Amino acid sequence: MKDKSEIMLADSIEPLLEVRNLHMQFPIRRGAFRRTVGFVKAVNNVSFHIRQGETLSLVGESGCGKTTTGRCIVRVYEPTSGQILYKAEEQEPIDLAKLDNRNLRPFRRQIRMIFQDPFSSLNPRLSILQIVGESLKVNRVASGSDLEDRVASLLKRVGLRPEYIRRYPHAFSGGERQRIGIARALALNPRLIVADEAVSALDVSVQAQILNLLQDLQEELNLTYLFIAHDLSVVEHISHRVAVMYVGKIVELATTEDLFTNPLHPYTEALLSAVPKPDPRLRNKGVRIRLEGEVADPSNPPSGCYFQPRCPYAEDRCRHEEPAVREIEPDRWVACHFAEELNLRGFEAIGQSMKR
Q: Which residues bind ligand SF4 (CB under 6 A)?
A: 265-266, 305, 307-308, 311, 313-314, 318, 323, 336-338
Q: How far is the CB of 230 from ligand SF4 (least distance, A)?
A: 19
Q: How far is the CB of 263 from ligand SF4 (least distance, A)?
A: 11
Q: How far is the CB of 294 from ligand SF4 (least distance, A)?
A: 16
Which residue number, 336 or 349, has a Cβ lying nearer to ligand SF4?
336
Which residue number, 5 or 300, has a Cβ lying nearer to ligand SF4?
300
Which residue number, 217 or 272, has a Cβ lying nearer to ligand SF4?
272
Q: How far is the CB of 11 from ligand SF4 (least distance, A)?
A: 27
Which residue number, 15 or 302, has a Cβ lying nearer to ligand SF4?
302
First-to-last C-alpha distance (Å) of the chain: 15
CA distance 172 to 202: 13
Q: How far is the CB of 314 from ligand SF4 (least distance, A)?
A: 4
Q: Distances from the Cα of 310 to the Cαs of 63, 259, 270, 288, 317, in angstroms?
A: 16, 20, 10, 15, 15
Which residue number, 138 or 324, has a Cβ lying nearer to ligand SF4?
324
Q: How far is the CB of 319 from ligand SF4 (least distance, A)?
A: 8
For 186, phi then psi, to 5°, come to -85, -15
CA distance 153 to 172: 18
H/E element holding 351? helix 348-355
Q: List all residues 6 or more positions away from 219 whose beta carbon is below 8 Å from its beta carbon.
A: none
**Based on C-alpha coordinates, what's the Rg of the chain?**
21
Which residue number, 116 or 273, has a Cβ lying nearer to ligand SF4?
273
CB 135 within 8 A of CB 217: no
If you count DSSP H runs as helices and E runs as strands, how many of each does the chain have, helices first?
A: 11, 12
Single-letter amino acid code for the residue at 235: V
